[in-house]
Amino acid sequence: MTASAPSLSDALLAAFDEKVGGNPSHLSRAPGRVNLIGEHTDYNDLPVFPMALHREVRIALRPRDDGMVVLHNTVDSFPSVEFEIEPAIPPYVQGSWGNYVKAPASELARRFAIWRGFEGVLQSDVPVASGLSSSSAVV
């Protein structure tokens, strides 16, 4: 009998312990998706037919006592991001994955006065730049 490979959740928890230290207080996931019909029509109020996939983006995080966000990615080609939450967070250079974290953080601060930061690790098995909404799953 051979040992089974560690689950994706186990790998995420191990990455959190390695990059942040200790255990996260929250785990969350968002599936990738494919639009069977209606690609790029949703923002024009036209019909779409999306379907969730079995591939997903996962995050393990722990709140901080300050307004800093420190987020690591399990893929080394995506560098860690660090920024302070404020209503108008300046974006990183165009194409940076960190912008998908900055945008909702800025909106939460602006609309709901949520200023508490977090530290965490992001992991995904949704192929990047494949039309499967990996960026939307991060947001």
pLDDT of 5 higher than 70: no
32 domain-assigned? yes
Number of structural domains in the chain: 1
124 domain-assigned? yes
91 domain-assigned? yes
1 domain-assigned? no
Contacts of 10 (CB under 8 A, 6+ apart): none
35 domain-assigned? yes
Residue (of 33, 13, 6) closest to 126 by Cα position:
33
pLDDT for residue 119: 97
81 domain-assigned? yes
Residue (of 104, 17, 78, 21) closest to 9 by Cα position:
17
CATH number at residue 117: 3.30.230.10
pLDDT interval class at 130 (50, 70, 90) = confident
pLDDT of 91 higher than 70: yes
Residue 102, Cβ neighbours under 10 Å: how many?
19
pLDDT for residue 125: 87
- pLDDT (mean) for 93-112: 90
pLDDT of 1 higher than 50: no
pLDDT for residue 67: 94
93 domain-assigned? yes
The overall average pLDDT reported for the chain is: 87
Per the structure, the complete domain to which residue 106 belongs is given by: 8-138
13 domain-assigned? yes
**Per-residue pLDDT reduced to its tens digit, 12-57:** 999 999 999 999 999 999 888 888 886 777 778 888 888 888 889 8
User: Percent of the chain, pLDDT > 90?
Assistant: 46
